Structure 1
Amino acid sequence: MVLRAGTRVATTTADVVWLDDVTKVYAGRVRALDGVTVGFARGSFTAVMGPSGSGKSTLLHCAAALDLPTGGRVVLAGQEVGALREPKLTAVRRRHVGFVFQSFNLVDALSVWDNVLLPQRFAGVRPDKAWAREVLERVGLGGRERSRPGELSGGQQQRVALARALAGRPEVIFGDEPTGALDLSTGREVLGLLRGFVDAHAATVVMVTHDPAAAAWADRVVFLADGRLAGELAAPTAQQVAARMTELTR
C-alpha cells in the first residue's frame, strides 16, 4: 500500500495491520504521531526508521495494540482495536501478534522451553509442542530446552525471544530494536531468521531499528520525522537508508 499522511484510504485484505490517520498525543501536549496512514501487508518485512523522537516506538505500540491512539483508527488482523475492550483486546494480541524486543524480556526462573510456551499458556490455548520444537531447532537452540536464560549468551537469549514470538504462529511480529543489544554477527543471524520466516511462512514483520544495515534486510523502509511520515524506500540498500537518514537529521 502507498502511504501518505492525513489521508483516509481503504484497507485491503492484504494488510494485516493498518493505521488510518492515526494521532497520538501524550500529556495533552506532546504529539508523538500526527496523522499517520500506513499499511503492513501479509508476507512483508518493513523497517521503521527516523531520528530520535520521531514517533517510531509510538507507531509500533499503536500498531501492536499495546497503546491506543488519540485519534484515527488501527485495524489489526481485521479487528479495529479502538472498538475493543479488555480482555478482548488482550485476546487479539495473544492470538495474532508476536513481540521481539531489545531487552529479550525472558523469565529467568523458567527454562527455555517454558519461556517459549509461556504466551500460549497465558492465552489459555493448548501449545503446539511439535511446532515449538521445530522453531527451537530453526533458531539453533535444539537441545537447550532445559537451559535457563542466565546460562545462555545474549544472542542465544534473543533467539529464545524470537522462538517465543513464533511459537504461536502469529500473523505479525513486531520488533523494537531486536538486534540493538547484539554483536554484528549475531544480529545478522537474527535478522536472517526473521527474513526466513517472512519468506517461508508469509509472516509479517514490522521492525523499528536505527541501523541502516539491519533495515536493508527488509522489503521496504518507512521513515518518520516529527511524528509524520517522511517517505519510504522499497528494496532498500544500507547506503540508501543511511543517506535518507542523513537528510532527515539535518
Structure 2
Amino acid sequence: MVQVRDVRQAPPRDVVELTGVTKVHPGGVRALDGVSVGFARGSFTAVMGPSGSGKSTLLHCAAGLDRPTSGRVVLAGQDVATLREPKLTAVRRAHVGFVFQSFNLVDSLSVWDNVLLPQRLAGTRPDRGWARELLARVGLAGREKARPGQLSGGQQQRVALARALAGRPEVIFGDEPTGALDLTTGRDVLALLRSFVDELGATIVMVTHDPAAAAWADRAVFLADGRIAGELSSPSAEQVSARMMELTR
C-alpha cells in the first residue's frame, strides 16, 4: 500500500483564504465585491448562488487562474494575487488540482498518461505507485491503456479525479464536476469526492448549481451579486434548495 500524506495531521488552518477580493471585468461588470472567505484544510465546501452571482469567478481567483482587481488570495501560504508568471504557474502545479465539467482530458493520450500529465508538465517525477492506487480507487484499474474516447462520460470524469489527486495537491477545485453526468453517475463521482476528504484528508472546493450535490459537502457557501450571502454547515438538499429560492426572489 502506498503511503499517503494525510493533511489532517497538519496544524488546522485555511488552505485558501480570500480577503476583500473584488473582481471587475472589462466594461465595469463587478463579478466579486469585497469577498472574504476561507476554506479549511481537510474540508469539502460547495459554492452556490444564482446565475451570474460570481461563483466561477470566485473559484478562478481562489485557484490563481484569474487575478482579482483588489484584495488578497492566500493559497498554501502564498499571496497568489501578487505573483507573476511563471511563479504563479509553479504554485498552481504544486498545490492545486482541477476537475471541470468538460473533463479536459487529452484524447490522444492514454488514461495512464492523462493521469501523470500534470506532474510531467511540472517537471516533477510522477509517483507511479500512487497513480495506480488512485486508478484503483476510482474503479479504473486495468484501463490504463484506454483512450478517453473509449470511456463513458462517468469514466472520463473518474480519470480527471485521479489526475487531480496525482500530485497530492493542497486543494482540489471543481467547477460543476457532475454537470455533464447523469444522476447515478454524478452521485458516484460525488461519493468519490467525499471519500477523498474523509479518507485522505483532501480539501475540495466545488462550484455547483445542484442542491443534491451540495448536500455531500461539509459546508455550502452562498453568493449573490458578487457578495457572500451566508452559509450552511452540514447542508441538506432541502436546506440548500430553500436558501437558493430566497436568493432568486
- Letter in structure 2 aligned against 1:96: H
Deviation at 1:28, TM superposition (A): 4.5
- CA-atom RMSD, angstroms? 0.9
Any idea what the Cα deviations from partners look like across 1:61-102, whole Å, max 9, x if unmatched? 000000010000000000001221111100100000000000
- Counterpart Cα distance in 2 of 1:164 and 1:201: 15
Unaligned runs of at least 5 residues, structure 2: 1-10
- Counterpart Cα distance in 1 of 2:32 and 2:211: 22
- Counterpart Cα distance in 2 of 1:26 and 1:84: 20
- Counterpart Cα distance in 2 of 1:21 and 1:230: 14
Any idea what the Cα deviations from partners look like across 1:190-247, whole Å, max 9, x if unmatched? 1111110111111100000000000000000000000001000000000000000000
Aligned to 1:148: 147
Aligned to 2:200: 201
Aligned to 2:8: none
- Counterpart Cα distance in 1 of 2:71 and 2:151: 43
- Counterpart Cα distance in 2 of 1:138 and 1:13: 27
Aligned to 1:219: 218
- Counterpart Cα distance in 2 of 1:169 and 1:180: 24
- Letter in structure 2 aligned against 1:58: T
1:101 and 2:100 are equivalent in the alignment: yes
Aligned to 2:130: 131
Q: After the TM superposition, which segments of 4 or more aligned residues of structure 1 sit over 2 Å from their partners?
A: none
1:32 and 2:31 are equivalent in the alignment: yes
3-state SS of paired residue (1:229) = strand
Aligned to 1:7: none
Within a 5 Å distance, the mapping from 1:36-185 to structure 2 comes to: 36-185=35-184
Deviation at 1:13, TM superposition (A): 5.4
3-state SS of paired residue (1:213) = helix
Unaligned runs of at least 5 residues, structure 1: 1-11
- Counterpart Cα distance in 2 of 1:83 and 1:231: 28
Q: So what's the TM-score if we normalise by structure 1?
A: 0.94
Aligned to 1:246: 245
- Counterpart Cα distance in 2 of 1:208 and 1:18: 16
- Letter in structure 2 aligned against 1:59: L
- Counterpart Cα distance in 1 of 2:108 and 2:207: 29
3-state SS of paired residue (2:235) = coil
Q: So what's the TM-score if we normalise by structure 2?
A: 0.95
- Counterpart Cα distance in 2 of 1:14 and 1:28: 37
- Counterpart Cα distance in 2 of 1:167 and 1:45: 18
Deviation at 1:164, TM superposition (A): 0.3
- Letter in structure 1 aligned against 2:95: H
- Counterpart Cα distance in 2 of 1:176 and 1:202: 20
